[in-house]
Amino acid sequence: MFVIVKLELTGWGDVVAEVPGSARLVLASGVVHLDEQAAVFAAMLLGWERQQKSRLLAEATIEPRMALLRRFAEFAGSFPWRWGPGDVEDFTVSLMSGSSRLAPSTIRSCHLTLRMFCDYLLDVRYGWVGECEQRFGSIPSQVCHDFNTVAHLNDYEGRPGRRPFTYEELQHLFDFLDARVERITRSGRKGAWAALRDAQMVKTCYAYGLRRRELCNLDIADLRPNPHMRQWGSYGAVHVRYGKAVRGGTPRRRSVLTVPEFDWVVEGMRQWVEDARPLLVSADRDALWLTERRQRISVNTMDRRFSWLREQAGLGADLSLHCLRHSYVTHLVEFGYPERFVTEQVGHSYASTTAIYTSVSNDFKTKTLKAALARVYNSKKER
């Protein structure tokens, strides 16, 4: 990535670098503001926003950070050149109070945003220290330190209730989805087509271990054959083009192979693609999953649909759509697939990340231990 840097010689012979987000680029010289403090703070936010955009960070990352800084400034009743560590501590207490108490991971994210913003203000390349000293006689400081922020101690900070589905829960969910399609079809009411779509989307999410965005952004062209299993036709693999991106990067791609234990998904995909989906002529002819209005189904819509289906099926509220991905990883491990294969199937960069998703059953642990005992002690007897 290349960043354009403008160099300017001052009267003292010093070199001033103007990088995206510097004070000289966002504050107009010679302008008298009616509310100078508010104007400078707005310019700081604009400067940090430009700096983040220069790093190619997404709007979905930048906008919540800007909103948090405005919220913190309103809570503290002051601007960054007056902030202190006590403001962070009081703000943290407010986030942990009441019925809307935030999770530790969310509070840690708030602390990280405040720390990064203060680092930006203190960076001499941006010139905010000089501007604040000249205008207000006070300069910003780093208000977040190791003793007033949440430490990242665990690899996984999700809710304890979030876990993989058991085999019984998965079977119950799939039976409910199939019965719902049959019931609506027999009644002659509207909704059988959408019910079939919902059922196949949930099954596909599990059978390939997909993230929600990956699932919703699949196209017909992403369905690929496996030359070793010609009987599966075009359903031997799924090409994921909208995988989770690294920060500032583009979506990562991968191919997820259909595994024999989940070959039941092939018949369902064939029914959807070849029989059900063609019933609607889509405005988006490439999208695999459509709404009744012939548009690609969104992630938010799918989240709402799954929450309703899970409730109707009588399953726990902590079992989200993403838990199906955890189930996929866990069950591949129980089926005996190598760690590297599982990691590549789900698109993780590190095996340690895959390990967080894994929660093998007690039955699997017992079988593994029995196999180990038999292998060790039988070999001793043979000696």
Task: State the average pLDDT for the chain.
Answer: 86
- How many residues in the chain? 383
Burial class (CB in 10 A: 0-12, 13-18, 19+), 238: buried
Q: Which pLDDT score, from 0 to 100, does residue 368 have?
A: 63
**What is the tens place of the pLDDT at every residue in 267-299?**
999 999 999 999 886 555 789 999 988 899 999
53 flagged as catalytic: no
**What is the tens place of the pLDDT at every residue in 293-338?**
889 999 999 999 999 999 999 999 989 999 999 999 989 988 888 8
325 flagged as catalytic: yes
CA distance 172 to 168: 6
Residue 343 has pLDDT above 60, yes or no: yes
**What is the tens place of the pLDDT at every residue in 116-144?**
999 999 999 999 999 999 999 999 999 99
Of 218, 69, 82, 221, nearest in space to 138 by CA: 82
pTM metric for this prediction: 0.72
211 flagged as catalytic: yes
**What is the tens place of the pLDDT at every residue in 174-198?**
999 999 999 999 998 889 999 999 9
Catalytic residue among 203, 310, 325, 331: 325
The CA-atom distances, in angstroms, between 31 and each of 36, 91, 299 are: 10, 34, 46
Q: Which pLDDT score, from 0 to 100, does residue 194 have?
A: 94
pLDDT above 90 as % of the chain: 61
Chain-centroid distance, C-alpha 309: 22
- Residue whose entry in the numeric block shows the structure tokens 């993230």: 211
Catalytic residue among 162, 172, 244, 305: 244
**What is the tens place of the pLDDT at every residue in 60-107?**
899 999 999 999 999 999 999 999 999 999 999 999 988 788 888 889
**Domains of the chain (ranges, CATH numbers):** 22-136 (1.10.150), 167-372 (1.10.443.10)
Kindly report the backbone phi and psi dihedral angles of residue 50, in degrees, each rounded to the nearest multiple of 5, phi listed first: -65, -40
**What is the tens place of the pLDDT at every residue in 219-235?**
999 999 999 999 999 99
pLDDT above 70 as % of the chain: 80
152 flagged as catalytic: no
Catalytic residue among 24, 203, 211, 212: 211
CA distance 100 to 177: 33
6 flagged as catalytic: no
